[in-house]
């Protein structure tokens, strides 16, 4: 349990500092252009990693066709310009319906 | 107000799943109160749930939130006051509000940003509390498909990122492949950090600037 509390406290501090850094530091200076290129690519690289790690799980132990089908529904809804809430709910509903049908 | 509703539903899910992971009631609520970042909290839960230690989990949360650095830099000129005040106003940067406040060509509407974020904070905390207290048993979470909520939330953010440039799509595919490969043998937190190496494709941009006209 103390692992969780330590992680929460540290994440809160880190999160605050990250959000504060840009506005506090920017002044009239800027980061060098090459670093901005990398920082800009952090989000897509890590978001893809998070989706994959969550879906695959350690040693690919979490793979579940109903989750993947749900994510396909979320992707389809997003590509059809559905708002985030609708897209996420579409994914949850697709997973739930498939589990109801085949579970 | 779909922002607030989305926030509330995601918070419910976070509270329920955190409780199911053995976080109790107080820890998820406090994390929503002081971290106030869905992606960072989901990253913590994912990394700790995979049996990783504190350091990989916090590093994963920090890296997933590293996007707030360029987002904060971009919005800084639109905020007000001295550095300390701007640092506080920068806390209002959350994905949906930041995107909503973007009025084009790098200009941001400060009132829109803060006005969109402020109501989301209590909704985020209340939703987490309700989810943790209601605490559906794990088979109910499974039957309702709630375990799809985390990756679906990340997937929507990912698709928005990937829609921006071809390079972002390359970084995403590369990051996904690295994570998929490494998670077979390494803890999820480590696989996540390794996935960020894919961000190095951002370096190419400046060597090949003349060819960048199409994106």
Looking at chain B, the whole-number percentage of residues with pLDDT higher than 70 is 92
- Which residues, 6 or more positions from B116, have their beta carbon under 8 angstroms from its beta carbon? B3, B96, B97, B100, B101
* Among candidates B145, B148, B158 on the partner chain, residue whose Cβ is nearest the Cβ of A47: B158
Residues B48-67: b if buried by 16+ CB within 10 A, e if exposed: bbbebbbebbbbbbbbbbbb
CB contact under 8 A, B155 and A22: no
Confidence tier at A21 by pLDDT (50, 70, 90): very high
Confidence check: pLDDT of B133 > 50? yes
Please give the ipTM for the structure prediction: 0.85
Encoded tokens for A33 = 């252009």
Burial grade of A63 (CB within 10 A; 0-12, 13-18, 19 or more)? exposed
* For chain B, domain boundaries: 2-145, 165-215
Q: Say whether B195 and A45 touch across the interface (CB within 8 A).
A: yes
| pLDDT tens track for B43-79 | 899 888 877 789 989 998 888 788 788 788 878 888 8
Interchain contact, A23 vs B75, CB within 8 Å: yes
pTM of the model: 0.74
Whether residue B214 has pLDDT greater than 70: no
Res. B27: pLDDT tops 70: yes
Contact with chain A for residue B211, Cβ under 8 A:
no
Inform me whether the C-beta atom of residue B14 falls under 8 Å from chain A C-beta atoms.
no
- Alpha-helical segments (H) within B50-94: 54-64, 68-75, 83-89
| Residues of A in Cβ contact (< 8 Å) with B91 | 16, 19-20
- A52-56, B100-104, B133-137: which is most confident: A52-56
């Amino acid at each position: 349990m103390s692992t969780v509390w330590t992680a929460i406290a540290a994440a809160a501090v880190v999160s605050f500092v990250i959000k504060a850094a840009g506005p506090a530091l920017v002044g009239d200076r800027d980061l060098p252009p090459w670093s901005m290129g990398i920082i800009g690519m952090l989000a897509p690289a890590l978001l893809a990693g998070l989706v994959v790690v969550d879906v695959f799980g350690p040693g690919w132990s979490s793979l579940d066709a109903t989750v993947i089908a749900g994510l396909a529904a979320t992707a389809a809804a997003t590509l059809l310009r559905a708002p985030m809430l609708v897209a996420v709910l579409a994914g949850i509903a697709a997973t739930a319906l498939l589990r109801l049908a085949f579970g | 107000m779909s922002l607030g509703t989305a926030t509330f539903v995601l918070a419910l899910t976070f509270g329920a799943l955190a409780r199911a992971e053995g976080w109790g009631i107080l820890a998820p609520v406090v994390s929503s109160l002081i971290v106030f970042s869905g992606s960072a909290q989901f990253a913590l839960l994912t990394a700790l749930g995979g049996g990783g230690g504190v350091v990989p989990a916090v590093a994963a949360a920090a890296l997933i939130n590293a996007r707030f650095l360029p987002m904060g830099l971009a919005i800084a000129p639109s905020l007000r006051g001295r550095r300390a005040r701007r640092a506080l106003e920068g806390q209002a940067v959350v994905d949906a509000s930041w995107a909503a406040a973007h009025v084009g060509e790098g200009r941001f509407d400060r009132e829109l940003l803060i006005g969109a974020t402020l109501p989301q904070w209590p909704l985020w905390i209340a939703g987490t509390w309700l989810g943790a207290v209601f605490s559906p048993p794990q088979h109910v979470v499974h039957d309702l498909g709630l375990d799809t909520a985390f990756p679906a939330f990340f997937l929507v953010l990912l698709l928005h990122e990937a829609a921006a440039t071809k390079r972002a799509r390359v970084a995403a595919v590369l990051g996904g492949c690295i994570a998929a490969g490494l998670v077979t043998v390494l803890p999820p937190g480590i696989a996540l950090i390794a996935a960020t190496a894919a961000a190095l494709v951002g370096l190419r941009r400046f060597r090949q600037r003349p060819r960048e006209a199409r994106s």
